[in-house]
């Protein structure tokens, strides 16, 4: 695993939406420090700054009415490790990382922190190769398009999962459980079905998206909307013996598995 084959890099470039002039720059971006002294950490430093700047500009243009504090909170949720890990999984980064044997044996190619760092390194490499900020803006915009589409500035920059969690905690209700019930498609083009379950009300809602995180957000948003509409949070219906039962209109979803 000394060098990445050009054919392999071509597949990754297609997923990124950018073709490198200097393939060695992309290889360096995918090289962990355990593999070589010529590793990706300097590119990661550049990529982190580029990502934050590109997201700040995107939020500034999309939401002219929100203030700096809300933009900061929204940006933080969009560029967190979990979000970058989701991008890495969609692009199949674990198949391209160059790592030392010890790191490989310890599962480094699947570690969220390493994958998230590699995404930022590749962003840095795209900019260094293109020498054009507009190019990296486009790449980042495409990769985060679905996450950006779920931003709701009217909720003070908080995503649906955070809103649902705070809504339930404020009423002393246990937090929801999220379960992936189906995954379809190839590794870099997967679609996730997620179930959100609020046990106290026997409430199930579902979400479907290109990433687990986005599917959870969709399911959480539906759950919050249902609870707010019912107006019965904190007062679950019971059978007289303390056992809750589903509210009218709360659909149950049978879990299923789908071959990927």
Residues 6+ apart with CB under 8 A from 9: 20, 23, 26, 27, 96
What are the structure tokens assigned to 259, written together? Answer: 């071959």
Residue 137 near residue 57, CB atoms below 8 Å: yes
Q: Distance (Å, rounded) from C-alpha 201 to C-alpha 245?
A: 7
Please give the positions annotated as active site. 48, 120
**36 φ, ψ (degrees, to nearest 5):** -160, 155
How far is residue 119 from each of residues 8, 12, 31, 32, 97, measured CA to CA in Å?
17, 12, 11, 12, 11
Phi, psi angle pair for 192, to nearest 5°: -110, 135
Contact 162, 169 (CB under 8 A): no
C-beta neighbour count of 162 within 10 angstroms: 16
């Amino acid at each position: 695993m000394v060098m990445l084959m050009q054919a392999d890099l071509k597949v990754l470039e297609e997923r990124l939406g950018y073709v490198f002039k200097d393939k060695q720059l992309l290889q360096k971006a995918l090289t962990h420090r355990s593999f070589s002294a010529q590793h990706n950490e300097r590119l990661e430093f550049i990529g982190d700054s580029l990502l934050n700047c590109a997201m700040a500009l995107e939020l500034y243009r999309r939401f002219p009415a929100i203030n700096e504090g809300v933009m900061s909170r929204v940006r933080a949720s969009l560029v967190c490790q979990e979000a970058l890990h989701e991008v890495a999984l969609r692009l199949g980064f674990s198949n391209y990382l160059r790592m030392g044997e010890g790191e490989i044996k310890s599962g480094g190619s699947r570690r969220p922190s390493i994958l998230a760092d590699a995404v930022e390194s590749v962003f840095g490499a795209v900019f260094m190769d293109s020498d054009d900020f507009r190019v990296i803006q486009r790449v980042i915009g495409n990769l985060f398009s679905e996450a950006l589409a779920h931003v709701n500035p009217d909720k003070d920059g908080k995503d649906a999962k955070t809103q649902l969690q705070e809504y339930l905690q404020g009423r002393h209700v246990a937090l929801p459980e999220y379960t992936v019930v189906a995954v379809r498609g190839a590794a870099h083009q997967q679609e996730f079905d997620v179930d959100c379950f609020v046990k106290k009300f026997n409430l199930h809602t579902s979400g479907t998206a290109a990433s687990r995180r986005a599917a959870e957000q969709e399911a959480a948003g539906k759950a919050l909307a249902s609870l707010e509409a019912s107006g019965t949070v904190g007062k679950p219906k019971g059978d007289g013996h303390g056992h809750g039962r589903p509210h009218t209109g709360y659909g149950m979803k049978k879990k299923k598995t789908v071959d990927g």
